[in-house]
């Protein structure tokens, strides 16, 4: 087995899309989520179950301390302990985007709605950290989401693979689901990075997929751009992308290669190793027509002297 990990540091609950907050804001660990917000959480499972979840989505647990639902946590440390009693080499931690809906706080043993919250109009049950419940001896935050459709897998926070594939992101070859929010990357220069953070992206007026903003779920792809410049001037932006309606473009001279955006699609997706001559690297690529669908959430790579200043710009 070969272990592959992403750099994940828990520092609160990251808001992906919340009417009361700006994307990228982190909430205090004990702060109750806003109703209807979309939040980053984690779920621990086995390799076999991970494959089943990726292929068919989550299935609710039929029992648990909060009753029926999908169990997860905003704390990656919590997720890393699951499945219990399993070999750590067989554990996978999913990074999730969760539409919490209406949230019920369950903060004591024998709470009157501990098992019945979902039948009282709530979509998510939330156990705050260190609330003293005997069934949570770790004291770590926990959530239960009744409807699995509210949960989207967007990445792998930690995984042990049974092959030598150096995959850091969830299935580059997996077609993005319409209306999903995905982590992607964009390579640019230091100067352009500052402009993008300050003013947002601008469409490229030409490219292999026509007008749009070019991004990739594969960080290695983004690290190559811009082409033909000194590597010391390259910056890789980490993004959250609302892909909308997605069109797969997987061959040269595809009938919608340049016109997908006029046919009701928001994003064009080129899967890896599809054989297109315009993608000699074979790495996954995406083109998002509307720049407002893209949010810069972090700096994945930058020259040492520019890394912290750029991160500060993103944070502000």
**What are the extents of the domains in the chain?**
2-161, 181-315
d(CA 35, CA 8): 26
pLDDT, position 65: 92
d(CA 92, CA 156): 7
Among 167, 251, 269, 260, which Cα is nearest to 211's? 260
What is the fold, at CATH topology level, of the domain defined by 2-161? Phosphoenolpyruvate Carboxykinase; domain 3 (3.90.228)
Is the sign of the CA dihedral 76, 82, 87, 91 positive or negative? Answer: negative
CATH code matching the domain that covers 181-315, chosen among 3.40.1390.30, 3.60.20.10, 3.40.50.300, 3.90.228.10:
3.90.228.10
pLDDT, position 24: 47
d(CA 306, CA 311): 9
Among 76, 73, 79, which Cα is nearest to 11's? 76
What pLDDT digit, counting tens, does each position of 111-147 carry? 999 999 999 999 999 999 999 998 888 888 999 999 9
Where is average pLDDT lowest: 33-47, 122-136, 258-272?
Answer: 33-47
Share above pLDDT 70 across residues of the chain, in percent, rounded to a whole number = 82
Where is average pLDDT lowest: 21-30, 181-190, 224-233, 241-250?
Answer: 21-30
Among 220, 40, 236, 70, which Cα is nearest to 147's? 70
Residue 311 near residue 297, CB atoms below 8 Å: no
Band (178; pLDDT cuts 50, 70, 90): low
Phi, psi for 156 (deg, rounded to 5): -110, 115
Band (213; pLDDT cuts 50, 70, 90): very high
Do 181-315 and 2-161 fall under one CATH topology?
Answer: yes
Q: What is the mean pLDDT of the chain?
A: 83
What pLDDT digit, counting tens, does each position of 291-306 carry? 999 999 999 999 999 9
Residue 157 near residue 95, CB atoms below 8 Å: yes
pLDDT, position 156: 81
């Amino acid at each position: 087995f070969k272990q592959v990990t992403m750099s994940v540091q828990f520092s609160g609950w990251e808001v992906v899309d919340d009417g009361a907050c700006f994307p990228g804001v982190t909430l205090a660990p004990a702060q109750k989520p806003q109703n209807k917000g979309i939040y980053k959480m984690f779920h621990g499972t086995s390799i076999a179950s991970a494959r089943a979840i990726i292929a068919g989505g989550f299935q609710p647990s039929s029992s648990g301390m909060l009753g029926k639902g999908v169990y997860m946590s905003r704390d990656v440390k919590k997720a890393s302990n699951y499945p219990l009693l399993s070999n750590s080499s067989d554990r996978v931690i999913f990074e999730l985007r969760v539409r919490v809906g209406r949230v019920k706080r369950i903060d004591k043993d024998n709470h009157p709605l501990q098992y019945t919250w979902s039948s009282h109009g709530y979509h998510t049950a939330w156990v705050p950290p260190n609330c003293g419940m005997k069934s949570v001896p770790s004291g770590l935050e926990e959530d239960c989401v009744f409807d699995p459709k509210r949960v989207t897998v967007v990445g792998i926070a930690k995984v042990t693979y049974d092959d030598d594939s150096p995959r850091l992101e969830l299935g580059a070859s997996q077609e993005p689901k319409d209306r999903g929010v995905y982590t992607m990357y964009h390579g640019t220069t230091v100067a352009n990075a500052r402009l993008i953070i300050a003013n947002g992206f601008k469409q490229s007026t030409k490219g292999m997929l026509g007008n749009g903003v070019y991004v990739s779920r594969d960080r290695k792809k983004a690290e190559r751009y811009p082409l033909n410049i000194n590597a010391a001037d390259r910056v890789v932006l980490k993004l959250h992308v609302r892909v909308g309606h997605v069109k797969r473009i997987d061959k040269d001279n595809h009938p919608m290669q340049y016109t997908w955006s006029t046919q009701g699609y928001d994003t064009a997706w080129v899967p890896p190793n599809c054989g297109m001559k315009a993608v000699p690297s074979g790495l996954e690529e995406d083109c998002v027509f509307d720049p407002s669908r893209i949010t810069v959430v972090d700096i994945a790579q930058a020259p040492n002297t520019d890394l912290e200043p750029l991160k500060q710009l993103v944070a502000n």
